[in-house]
């Protein structure tokens, strides 16, 4: 019952921006969108999350469409170390206590 | 942030045996979560463990197969019982801190 759809893989040139799309058309009004990444054999690492406003932190930017049915994670200057599987996740339920429902993720390959 | 450690980091087990995985957090947390990640797949929530109460299992997971203990606010165990090769996965512990989930490094289990 994954609530997100992502492309299975993407390539990005080193130093360029990586734009990772995610569809979550069935998201409810109080459900947050989270982004995590997983580098091989490690636990998922938090990147960013948001509800309806665009968000930016030291790692990335999150752009959420006005209807909240899709979002885009932007890594402004991708490096080789950004090669990972990126998960767009909807947090089911209200606020910060709901369950994380993982989609299948996007494998991002950053190339020199 | 929350620092999570898991033991063992990996193990190879024989069919029919059981393995108990430990999760230790460096701060007190109300809820702890256990996930499974099958080879090449995304993460699936097994159960939520609150201190002082029975764990809540997701659809497809049962207590007899995955018993969980939560003796205090910094520790939990997950047992994988009567293992079969289909149980070969990475098992991850997760907690909530700073309004977002943190994940442990995972336990890589191989069942022969």
- The 10s digit of each residue's pLDDT in A63-108 is 999 999 999 999 999 999 999 999 999 888 765 667 888 889 999 9
Between the two ends of chain B, the Cα-to-Cα distance in Å is 37
CB A72 within 8 A of CB A63: yes
Comparing CA positions, the residue from B28, B12, B1, B24 lying closest to residue B83 is B12
Check CB contact under 8 Å for A96 and B100: yes
Contact flag B106-A42 (C-beta cutoff 8 Å): yes
User: Rounded to whole angstroms, how far apart are CA atoms B65 and B80?
Assistant: 6
Contact B106 A100 (CB under 8 A): no
CB A24 within 8 A of CB A4: yes
Decide if A46 and B108 are in contact by the 8 Å CB cutoff.
no
Strand, coil or helix: what is A6? Answer: coil
Q: Is A105 on the interface with B (CB under 8 A)?
A: yes
Instruction: Choose the closest CB to A42 out of B41, B100, B105.
Output: B105
CB < 8 Å to B108, chain A: 41
> Which of chain B's residues have a Cβ under 8 Å away from the Cβ of A62?
none
Highest mean pLDDT: which range of A43-47, B94-98, B99-103: A43-47
Residue contact A45–B103, C-beta within 8 A? yes
Q: Which ranges in A1-112 belong to alpha helices (H)?
A: none
pLDDT on residue A95: 58
B16: left (phi over 0), alpha (psi -120 to 50) or beta: left
B9 vs B2, higher pLDDT: B9
Question: Sorting pLDDT into bands at 50, 70 and 90, what band is A2?
Answer: low
């Amino acid at each position: 019952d994954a609530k997100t759809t992502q492309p299975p893989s993407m390539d990005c040139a080193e130093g360029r921006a990586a734009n990772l799309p995610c569809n979550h058309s069935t998201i409810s009004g109080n459900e947050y969108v989270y982004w995590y990444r997983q580098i091989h054999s490690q636990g998922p690492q938090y990147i960013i999350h948001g509800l309806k406003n665009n968000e930016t932190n030291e790692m990335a930017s999150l752009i959420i469409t006005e209807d909240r049915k899709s979002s885009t994670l932007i890594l402004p200057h991708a490096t080789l170390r950004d090669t990972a599987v990126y998960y767009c996740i909807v947090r089911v339920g209200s606020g910060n206590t709901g369950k994380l429902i993982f989609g299948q993720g996007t494998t991002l390959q950053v190339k020199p | 942030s929350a620092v999570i450690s898991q033991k063992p980091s990996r193990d190879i087990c024989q069919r029919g045996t059981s393995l108990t995985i430990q999760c230790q957090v460096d701060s007190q947390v109300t809820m702890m979560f256990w996930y499974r990640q099958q080879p090449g797949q995304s993460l699936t929530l097994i159960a939520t463990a609150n201190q002082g109460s029975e764990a809540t299992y997701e659809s497809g997971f049962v207590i007899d197969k995955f018993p969980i203990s939560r003796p205090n606010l910094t520790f939990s165990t997950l047992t994988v019982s009567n293992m079969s090769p289909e149980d070969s996965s990475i098992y991850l512990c997760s907690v909530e801190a700073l309004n977002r989930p943190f994940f442990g490094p995972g336990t890589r289990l191989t069942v022969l």
